[in-house]
């Protein structure tokens, strides 16, 4: 659920989106793309939640890996379909993760 990423630096792609309408076809495509992303070189993990706005943060070894995934044919086709049919708006931010820290409750 929370991605087990390596020690920084690495990269994050923050993808925030609003759908025209939520539908099962979109959910299927999103799940398929997440599975496909996991097979790509340099993929480190992904976290996703939708509650009105959808936020998907995927983690990558470097910008080259992000670029390759963007150019992947099935991913390009899914994005095209997303723009035509599902997304009302979205924003993509390419980020360098400079530092991180975490917390885990031990007695739970």
Q: Which residues bind its own copies (CB under 8 A)?
A: 1-3, 5, 8, 12, 14, 16-18, 20, 47-55, 57, 83, 87-105, 108
Closest approach, Cβ 48 to its own copies, in A, equals 8
Closest approach, Cβ 45 to its own copies, in A, equals 10
Select 40 or 48, whichever has its Cβ closest to its own copies: 48
CA 108 to chain centre: 29
Select 72 or 79, whichever has its Cβ closest to its own copies: 79
3-state secondary structure of 8: coil
Closest approach, Cβ 8 to its own copies, in A, equals 8
Return d(Cα 20, Cα 42) in angstroms, integer: 32
Return d(Cα 106, Cα 108) in angstroms, integer: 6
Select 74 or 89, whichever has its Cβ closest to its own copies: 89
Q: Check: CB of residue 48 under 8 Å from CB of residue 37.
A: no
- Count Cβ neighbours within 10 Å for each residue of 36-50 and write b for 16 or more, e otherwise: ebeebebbbbbeeee
Closest approach, Cβ 59 to its own copies, in A, equals 9
């Amino acid at each position: 659920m929370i991605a087990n990423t390596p020690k920084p630096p690495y990269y994050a792609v923050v993808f925030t989106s609003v759908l025209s309408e939520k539908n099962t076809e979109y959910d299927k495509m999103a799940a398929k793309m997440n599975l496909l992303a996991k097979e790509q070189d340099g993929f480190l993990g992904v976290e996703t939640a939708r509650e009105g706005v959808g936020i998907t943060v995927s983690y990558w070894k470097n910008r080259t890996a992000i670029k390759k995934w963007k150019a992947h044919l099935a991913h390009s086709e899914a994005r095209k379909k997303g723009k035509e049919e599902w997304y009302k708006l979205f924003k993509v931010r390419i980020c360098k993760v400079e530092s991180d820290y975490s917390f885990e409750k031990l007695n739970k």
